[in-house]
Amino acid sequence: MPTVLQTPNKTFTREEVAKHNTEDSVWFIIDSVVYDVSEFLDAHPGGEAVLRQVAGQDATVAFYNLHRHEVLQKYNNLAIGTIAGEKQSIVTPEPGDLSQVPYAEPLWLRPQFRSPYFKDSHRRLQRAMREFTDKYMRPEALEREKDGKYVSQELVERMAKAGILHMRMGPGKHLHGVKLLDGAVDGKEFDYFHDMICCQEGVRPACRGFQDGNLAGMVIGLTCILNFCTNEALKKRVLDDVFSGRKKICLAITEAFAGSDVAGLRTTAVKTPDGKHYIVNGTKKWITNGVFCDYFVVGVRTGKGLSVLLIERGEGVETKQIKTSYSTTAGTAYITFDNVKVPAENLLGEENKGIYVILSNFNHERWTMCCASIAYSRIVVEECLKWAHQRLVFGKRLIDQPVIRLKLAKMIALVESHQAWLESITYQMCHMPYAEQAKHLGGPIALLKMSATRAAHEIADEAVQIWGGRALTQTGMGRVIENFNRTYKFDAILGGAEEVLGDLGVRQAMKFMPKSAKL
Ligand code: HEM
């Protein structure tokens, strides 16, 4: 339940506060709480003068016109009491709380709405994931996004213990018998809606670089081990290492020579004469988490086609950080393989048929990106709705301007329609065996991703216009909008560029076009 700020028990009258507008003593009121900022004047990032201008007064409107509410949580030690007979009206969310702002949560989470898709276990998991994210992921995400360091071992182990690493791999046998967030959901019951919830809740910190840095490489890399590693001992070792958080894994397919066009890969793997090893040479580019990973699932050329190998960090493997437009916390790497000796048993799937291993990953990867991009777009809508009610310009709130309401209408419609489409596809995923998913959902998922990132483009554009200069600064009020506007393109490029996916969607439709259908 949301609460109000905790303050000392003392009470004051407004008249008492009014007296503290002197050289030595500066007090003011924000939402019925009295603040003594006399010792904070020098340290205030907005300067001393502005605080002196409101000394002795009610500064609620001035404060919320310039700051996020969380600033008051952080500087709670400046509060000295409350105004006698008054109650705080602004609430502070507790970890795990749902937002009360309209459209800030998907329809299924709003008490007035019904949904055919979600059961009790989905709701339990959502609550548990929200709480975990608020308590542990968000504070770390904000730090790492700024300092660019990699995800902490402490958080990785906490996620491992809570079963979050297992859950992020989607439904499957790997979840059976694993305790998931203190029993919020039984692993055997875990379906793609649970998977969607994990993805969407994980986006809540609104730090796009950290979102990938928080083991996105595992989500796309470990599936190849789960589904295609035929050496049981190797499979067990890698799964144990990764699920326990001891080691990290990523997927290394793209190269400077070939991005979405995997047929153009140039990294080679040549069998040794005794057939026991492959010798790998080549490079990989844009590899998420590559800088800090121990295992690499690598696409290589093997004579008659593509193959996929599990390569361990060791002699001949080098990773270099690529500086991208999001935070270095993502660990995006340029990798070189220089005569790397890889045991033949590390082949995943069949030799020269690696394209099936690579393709088998694509639908789930693209679908998780849809979940994330739509969830982040929704956070932006929430930020804009709050800001439009808070910000005063030309003597009015922003929300009182029809032009702003029209922008919000467009943003809300884009988020709601894409979430509805996502839930409809997720329902199909829950009810189609893998082979049918591959046949029938490749096209729709591609089109959803293309459309969701186009929507993100529109939403980022409108949000920046609503926020003005604040949308361009990485700290303070507009942090989320700045982050979104700088990073939404990652989803429009990674996992298949919009144009490639749009084309794929239509080509899939062409495959199913009946010869009998003519005008
Ligand atoms: C307990 C009271 C206050 C605290 C703890 C506080 C803290 C801060 C902090 C941390 C910032 C940096 C930006 C951010 O993180 O949002 C900031 C900026 C600022 N503050 Fe305050 N502040 C307080 C009250 C006020 C009041 C009452 C005013 C004006 C009447 C004010 C005016 C400003 C201005 C003008 C900026 C710069 C905003 C910008 O760059 O857009 N502050 N304040």
> pLDDT tens for residues 261-285?
777 899 999 999 999 999 999 999 9
Supply the pLDDT for residue 274.
Answer: 97
Number of Cβ atoms within 10 Å of the Cβ of 256: 11
Q: 44 C-alpha vs ligand 1 centroid, how far in Å?
A: 7
Mean pLDDT, range 357-385, rounded to an integer: 95
Atom of ligand 1 nearest to the CA of 53: 30
Mean pLDDT, range 467-477, rounded to an integer: 94
Q: Is residue 468 in contact with ligand 1, taking CB distance under 6 Å?
A: no
Q: Which of 39, 41, 71, 142 most suits a substitution to test ligand 1, by most atoms within 8 Å of the C-beta?
A: 71
Q: Is residue 34 in contact with ligand 1, taking CB distance under 6 Å?
A: no
Supply the pLDDT for residue 322.
Answer: 96
Q: Is residue 67 in contact with ligand 1, taking CB distance under 6 Å?
A: yes
Mean pLDDT, range 464-485, rounded to an integer: 95
Supply the pLDDT for residue 258.
Answer: 78
Q: 401 C-alpha vs ligand 1 centroid, how far in Å?
A: 25
Q: What phi and psi values does residue 312 have, to the nearest 5 degrees?
A: -95, 150
Q: Is the pLDDT of residue 55 over 70?
A: yes
Answer yes or no: pTM beyond 0.90: yes
Supply the pLDDT for residue 36.
Answer: 98
Pick the CATH number of 362-511 from 3.90.226.30, 3.40.50.300, 3.30.750.24, 1.20.140.10: 1.20.140.10
CATH class of 109-214: mainly alpha
- What architecture (CATH level 2) is domain 11-83? Roll (3.10)
Q: Is the pLDDT of residue 72 over 90?
A: yes
Supply the pLDDT for residue 163.
Answer: 97
Q: 27 C-alpha vs ligand 1 centroid, how far in Å?
A: 14
Q: 46 C-alpha vs ligand 1 centroid, how far in Å?
A: 5
Q: 144 C-alpha vs ligand 1 centroid, how far in Å?
A: 24
Q: What are 115-128's pLDDT values in tens digits? A: 999 999 999 999 99
Q: Using the 8-state DSSP alphabet, how is residue 309 labeled?
A: E
Q: Contact, 208 vs 479, CB < 8 A? A: no
The model's confidence at residue 360, banded by pLDDT at 50, 70 and 90, is confident
Within 84-181, strands assigned E span: none
Q: 39 C-alpha vs ligand 1 centroid, how far in Å?
A: 15
Burial of 262 (0-12, 13-18, 19+ CB in 10 A): middle
Distance CA 42, CA 168 (A): 46
Tell whether domain 248-352 is in CATH 2.40.110.10: yes
Q: Is the pLDDT of residue 503 over 70?
A: yes
Q: Is the pLDDT of residue 260 over 70?
A: no
Q: What are 198-228's pLDDT values in tens digits? A: 999 999 999 999 999 999 999 999 999 999 9
Q: Is residue 502 in contact with ligand 1, taking CB distance under 6 Å?
A: no
**Nearest to residue 92, comparing CAs of 108, 79, 111?**
79
So where are the chain's domains? 11-83, 109-214, 248-352, 362-511
Q: Is the pLDDT of residue 190 over 90?
A: yes
Q: What are 172-187's pLDDT values in tens digits? A: 999 999 999 999 999 9
Supply the pLDDT for residue 435.
Answer: 87
Q: Is the pLDDT of residue 402 over 90?
A: yes
ipTM, 2 dp: 0.97
Amino acid at 192: Y
Kindly report the average pLDDT of the chain as a whole number. 96
Q: Is the pLDDT of residue 394 over 70?
A: yes
Mean pLDDT, range 123-138, rounded to an integer: 98
The model's confidence at residue 3, banded by pLDDT at 50, 70 and 90, is confident
